[in-house]
Amino acid sequence: MLNPDRILIVDDEPQMCDIIEYIFSKAGYETRTAPDGETAAALARRETFDAAILDVMLPRSSGLTLCQKIHEVSHIPVIFLSALGSAEERVAGFEAGADDYIVKPFNARELLLRTKAVLARYRGNFTEEVIEVGPVMLKPQSHTVIIDNRRIQLSQYEMRLLATLARSVNRPVAWRDLVAAVWLTDAPETGKEMLKTMIHRLRGKLSPAPDLIKSVRGAGYMMPG
């Protein structure tokens, strides 16, 4: 028997959370709920889900920010379920990475059907990126790194760094570009030291093949092919 799909439900209104959870549980889904963005982000880092249903207006972290945080650690479909229904608000949701946007009040049957459609579309179209460089095999979307048949545990920042270098194999990547790719921000001067520290730690995790990341004087860092 196949395991049921797992749905992460995030809404700061307990009654609404209970309603959505009941709808999906009755339809055979396994559910987890969270009342705010930070709690939900922590759940997404620790557990595996097949889809997420998010409110936009959340305490501690907006739904838009949460959508981006979820996609940093997992490539799952995200559906916004929100009272905010203007064209601009829906566009903002899609720009944040949502796969669908449903306005409250909603119809339970429609929510289930649209969730099923998103899951089917995702499974039919998604082919995970696989990057191979020497003895290293990376699957960034599922947060997997294997070196010499051994799985390596990396933080989301280390994974971004390694994937950025692996996508530019044999070409140096400037430190400012690496800082922007890893921390998703413009690179301050302190970013160079932050990057050096992370490179050192990453080399340690890649042992016994630390030479997979090389310093290129005046140009940045690179992974040789």
pLDDT digits 0-9 by tens, 34-84 = 999 999 999 998 888 999 999 999 998 899 999 988 988 787 899 999 999
Alpha-carbon span 98 to 96, nearest angstrom: 6
Alpha-carbon span 105 to 15, nearest angstrom: 13
CA neighbours within 13 Å on the CB side: how many for 119?
A: 16
CATH class of this structure's domain 6-125: alpha beta
| Cβ contact 175:220 at 8 Å | yes
Q: Residue 13's pLDDT band (boundaries 50, 70, 90)?
A: very high
Quick one: tokens of 20? 């959505």
- The confidence score (pLDDT) of residue 1 equals 38
Mean pLDDT calculated for residue range 137-163: 82
Alpha-carbon span 217 to 222, nearest angstrom: 11
- The confidence score (pLDDT) of residue 192 equals 84
Q: What is the CA radius of gyration of the chain?
A: 20
Q: What is the pLDDT of residues 188-197, one digit of tens each?
A: 667 788 899 9
How far are the Cα atoms of 41, 108, 118, 160 from residue 16, in angstroms, in the given order?
Answer: 19, 12, 22, 35
- Which of 31-35, 60-64, 202-206, 214-218 has the largest mean confidence? 31-35
What values do phi and psi take at 189, rounded to 5?
-60, -35
Mean pLDDT calculated for residue range 100-109: 94
Q: Are strands 51-54 and 78-82 parallel, antiparallel or unpaired?
A: parallel
CATH of 131-222, one of 1.10.540.10, 1.10.10.10, 1.10.3720.10, 3.40.50.2300: 1.10.10.10
Q: Residue 121's pLDDT band (boundaries 50, 70, 90)?
A: confident
Q: Residue 213's pLDDT band (boundaries 50, 70, 90)?
A: very high
Ranges in the chain annotated CATH 1.10.10.10: 131-222
Ranges in the chain annotated CATH 3.40.50.2300: 6-125
